[in-house]
């Protein structure tokens, strides 16, 4: 079974600083990978996805992620943090078991932005 590990349950950065949220996955086959964002009291919104095209994927709100097969990583970055980026971020990998295209989720990382 596949698994997803997000390093750091909380990450704190200053406004304007680089955001780096780490995600590693275990998969024996090329995966489909996703980053979702959850704002307080809201549902999950797709930020970006990797589906075996370009390894550098650009998403919404200035975020991007790079798929590195050799490191089994899919880290999320943003050059300059804004206060509005404060949220919880989830990395997920798509796993197929018989007919179920289930998403396997990391535990999430809460991003805290310091003024």
Partner 1 sequence: EAQVTQNPRYLITVTGKKLTVTCSQNMNHEYMSWYRQDPGLGLRQIYYSMNVEVTDKGDVPEGYKVSRKEKRNFPLILESPSPNQTSLYFCASSLIGGRHGYTFGSGTRLTVV
Contact 106, 4 (CB under 8 A): yes
- Please tell me whether residue 82 binds partner 1 under the rule CB under 8 A: no
* Closer by beta carbon to partner 1, 47 or else 81: 47
Which among 10-18, 55-63, 67-75, 96-104 is the span making contact with partner 1, rule CB under 8 A? 96-104
Q: Of residues 3, 14, 45, 80, which one binds partner 1 by CB under 8 A?
A: 45
Give bridge partners of residue 36 from the DSSP assignment.
Answer: 46, 90
> Rule CB under 8 A: is residue 100 a binding residue for partner 1?
yes
Contact 36, 109 (CB under 8 A): no
Segment holding 112, helix H or strand E: strand 109-114
**HSE value, Cβ hemisphere, 13 Å, CA-based, for 30:** 7
Cα–Cα distance, 76 to 35 (Å, whole number): 8
Q: How far is the CB of 37 from partner 1 (least distance, A)?
A: 11
Binding part of the chain for partner 1, among 10-18, 57-65, 68-76, 92-100 by CB under 8 A, reads 92-100
Residue 17 engages partner 1 in binding (rule: CB under 8 A): no
Here the tokens at position 76 are 């999320």
Where does this chain bind partner 1 (CB under 8 A)?
A: 32, 34, 36, 41-46, 49, 51, 90, 94-96, 99-103, 105-108
């Amino acid at each position: 079974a596949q698994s997803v590990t997000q390093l750091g349950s909380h990450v704190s950065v200053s406004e304007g600083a680089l955001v780096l949220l780490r995600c590693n996955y275990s998969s024996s086959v090329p995966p489909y990978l996703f980053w979702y964002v959850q704002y307080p009291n809201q549902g999950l919104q797709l930020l970006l996805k990797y589906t075996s095209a370009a390894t550098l994927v650009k998403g919404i709100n200035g975020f991007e992620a790079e798929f590195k097969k050799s490191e089994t990583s899919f880290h999320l970055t943003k050059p300059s943090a804004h206060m509005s980026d404060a949220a919880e971020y989830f990395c997920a990998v798509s796993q197929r078991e018989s007919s179920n295209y289930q998403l396997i989720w990391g535990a999430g990382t809460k991003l805290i932005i310091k003024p």
